[in-house]
Structure 1
Amino acid sequence: MDFKRIEIIFVITFLALNIFLLTTYFDKSYNDFSSNTSNSEVNFTEEMDKSNIELPTFQNEKNKIPYVQAEANELLLKNYDSLSNQTGMIEKDGSVFTSILSSPIALTQEKEFTAKDIEKLALFVKSNQVLFGKQYQFFRYIKNSQQVVFTQIANNIPIADGTSEIIFHLDNSKKVISYEQSYAGPVTVQGESREVITDKNAVDILYQNNEIATDSIVKKPVLSYYRTLNLEELSMYAPAWFIEIESSTDTQTKRVDAINGTILKVPTLEQPQSATKSKLKSSIEADSASLNSNNESSLKE
């Protein structure tokens, strides 16, 4: 008998059997994983529904987004004194410009903030009354604090971490009386695009980490940029999901890194309490008090 030939046949048969068993095992593992993933997604939605959490319509698509880079600059510091019809001051490091408008911008008489209000403010932003305004777009209206936020657009995506935005302040008669501006500077794309998690993934992550309370409303997530590296010469921005969550008492903002899925704790400038703003406010109040005092003296005479 040709034992060598029998040995070869036996080895080939053994290898084929192993390949078949391994293929069957991996196919089963993949199917189980897919099934568990699908069930997990359904369960998150069901659990949030049981908690009376209202969810938006998700896009649920995977996109590829690159990092972007902004060079360190003093563009606000060098240009703010060219603006007219406003009283302005700037932080010593040039990071935030604070302006009080000489002529407040009257918005519509509607009680709520409307599309016409956005359009009117957008025209002002893109005029020569705001530095680099053509690089900013409307982002959101904060009802509780009567603020309207415009953000710088980089790679067609808003920078929504407070480092490059314009915050308009409204008075009780729905007039824009002042604003603060921060500016990252000219932005360039860096490196290859990376796949980001979906908007639904981001909300699931927040829910898993008890970041979404019961009886709340989750607004539609917005893909944005946040500053992940701040050096003396440049800043790097990474993609993140910006998510607003409304409750009966307030509106909270959450951010989830769109690449690694971590929940971010990023400070913002939505309600800046800068020394410049305080000084400017004190100066205006002093001028106002002086004017009222003069008026009273004139009336007495």
Structure 2
Amino acid sequence: MDFKRIEVIFLIVFVCLNIFLFTSYKQNQHVETVNNDDISQSAMVLREMRGDQITVPTLATKVGSGYYLSSGSSQALQNASQRLQNQRYSFTNNRLYSRLVHPISVKNGKDTAALKNVLANPRMVAFGKHYRYSKLFSTANRLVYTQKLPEGDLYDAQGEIIFQISNKQIVSYEQSYISKVTTLREKEATITEKQAVLALYSNNAIANGATIKWTTLGYSRLLDANDSSVYIPTWFIAVENKNSGNVQIKRINAFSSVLMKASDDANLSSSTSN
């Protein structure tokens, strides 16, 4: 047996193993350094926020995931509306506006219960089962329902129902609906709730003395192009002004941490009353 050859082979294996272990060690050291830097930077920003007397709840650090979604123009809502009864309705820019012939009486705290059967009836509301009640975006005089997608809830003017309440009666509603939703890319990681709030502060979008009331993650429109719209995961952050008591709803791109422009939707606007 050629022992010399075996010694050489063992030597080569030993050297390769040491190189591999050394490389792995350096990589782990780098990851640990990056993580420590992120933690240190987050802690520093939170201290600055406390110094500005901004009230921040406990923020989650769980990483989520989502997609780039696309939806083209569709006549689905117009076609389905032909079956509607006991209401007078019209369309403006693909948005349905309806006034009920017989208003629906509601009791205090029972508004959504009164609408359960209405949403389940396609002769009262088209695609009603495709929407979910959103307490966060609702007020005393209007109930907001957001469209449900397989990938998550859509918080956008293009997929919602808003019921108007007057004198303890639901008198009218407006509705929009998107269909034929497709994914444009593979699933990607989203930033955490904590990262979203820190990004909002870093963009000077939180005034001194403000309070973070709530946050929620859903899909919203990124852009419109060629009769299609692109939607992305978005962090919605409600910020209450200390002096006025008004609540502003800000949006952070959950992929890039970029502050998004104010929504053009009345119920998801950047300035709403508390």
- Could you state the TM-score of these two structures normalised by the residue count of structure 2? 0.78
Distance 1:53 1:107 in 2: 38
Structure richer in helix, relative to its length: 1
Moved more, 251-260 or 142-151: 142-151
Partner of 2:153: 158
Equivalences for 1:67-146 in 2 at 5 Å?
67-91=68-92, 93=93, 95-109=94-108, 114=109, 116-128=110-122, 129-140=124-135, 142=137, 146=141
1:30 to partner: Cα distance = 4.7
Partner of 2:13: none
Aligned to 2:186, the other structure's residue is in SS state: strand
Partner of 2:162: 167
1:169-207: per-residue Cα shift (whole Å, max 9, x none)? 222x33222111111124233431001111111110001
1:126 to partner: Cα distance = 2.8
Letter in structure 2 aligned against 1:227: R
Letter in structure 2 aligned against 1:253: I
Partner of 1:234: 228
Equivalences for 1:269-284 in 2 at 5 Å?
269-270=265-266
Contact 1:57 / 1:220 at 8 angstroms: preserved in 2? no
1:12-57: per-residue Cα shift (whole Å, max 9, x none)? xxxxxx9999888766655443323212212222332333323233
Distance 1:132 1:85 in 2: 17
Aligned to 1:220, the other structure's residue is in SS state: strand
Equivalences for 1:248-267 in 2 at 5 Å?
248-267=244-263
Distance 1:211 1:122 in 2: 38
Change (3 A) 1:209 1:145: farther
Greater Cα radius of gyration, structure 1 or 2:
1
Aligned to 1:263, the other structure's residue is in SS state: coil
Aligned to 1:124, the other structure's residue is in SS state: helix
Distance 1:22 1:67 in 2: 36
Aligned to 1:140, the other structure's residue is in SS state: coil
1:207-249: per-residue Cα shift (whole Å, max 9, x none)? 1111112332223321111223434453322111122222343
Contact 1:169 / 1:176 at 8 angstroms: preserved in 2? yes
Query: Which residue, out of 173, 181, 197, partners 2:175?
Result: 181
1:263 to partner: Cα distance = 0.9
Distance 2:114 2:237 in 1: 26
Distance 1:39 1:123 in 2: 52
Change (3 A) 1:106 1:141: farther
Aligned to 2:232, the other structure's residue is in SS state: strand
Partner of 1:198: 192
Identity of aligned residues (%): 28
Aligned to 1:225, the other structure's residue is in SS state: strand
Partner of 1:149: 144
Moved more, 234-243 or 117-126: 117-126
Aligned to 1:125, the other structure's residue is in SS state: helix
Contact 2:213 / 2:240 at 8 angstroms: preserved in 1? yes
Distance 1:233 1:143 in 2: 29
1:254 to partner: Cα distance = 1.0
The size of the alignment, in residue pairs, is: 250
Partner of 1:277: none
Specify every segment of 5 or more residues in structure 2 that has no aligned partner in the other structure, as ranges.
1-18, 269-274
1:255-294: per-residue Cα shift (whole Å, max 9, x none)? 111111111114333269xxxxxxxxxxxxxxxxxxxxxx
1:139 to partner: Cα distance = 1.8
Aligned to 2:42, the other structure's residue is in SS state: helix
Partner of 2:62: 61
Correspondence 1:221 to 2:215: yes
Contact 1:161 / 1:266 at 8 angstroms: preserved in 2? no
Contact 1:167 / 1:270 at 8 angstroms: preserved in 2? no
